[in-house]
């Protein structure tokens, strides 16, 4: 199952822009506030926001290797990378 995680914080304008773009593309995502989910932030090695983590094969019952070829990470509001991830997600 494909999955997109979006790591954000309340006062982050680029986070809101990424979220708005993904919603306009009808992308289902799971959003994490970095201050409310420190364990998840640490697991996915999030260093800044917004950070989008796209997993081609996600199983909530198995450990996800963040360094896998099946994982793509986009940091910041990078439209070309976001478009690429959305295109891949919709396939």
Distance, in Å, from the CA atom of 44 to the CA atom of 25, rounded to the nearest integer, reads 24
Cα dist. 18→10, 21, 61, 65 in Å? 13, 5, 27, 24
Q: Total structural domains in the chain?
A: 1
pTM for the whole thing? 0.88
The confidence score (pLDDT) of residue 58 equals 80
The confidence score (pLDDT) of residue 67 equals 64
3-state secondary structure of 72: strand
The confidence score (pLDDT) of residue 66 equals 65
The confidence score (pLDDT) of residue 50 equals 98
What is the domain extent for residue 33?
Answer: 3-90
The confidence score (pLDDT) of residue 71 equals 84
Q: Computed from CA positions of residues 41, 68, 89, 85, in that sequence, does the dihedral angle turn out positive or negative?
A: positive
The confidence score (pLDDT) of residue 37 equals 95
Q: Which parts of the chain sit beneath pLDDT 50? A: none
Phi, psi of 44 (to 5 degrees): -90, 10
């Amino acid at each position: 199952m494909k999955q997109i995680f979006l790591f954000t914080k309340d006062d982050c304008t680029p986070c809101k822009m990424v979220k708005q773009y993904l919603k306009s593309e009808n992308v289902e995502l799971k959003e994490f506030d970095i201050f409310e989910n420190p364990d998840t932030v640490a697991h996915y090695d999030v260093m800044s926001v917004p950070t989008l983590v796209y997993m081609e094969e996600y199983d909530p019952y198995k450990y996800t290797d963040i360094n896998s070829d099946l994982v793509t990470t986009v940091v910041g509001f990078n439209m070309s990378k976001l478009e690429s991830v959305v295109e891949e997600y919709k396939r």
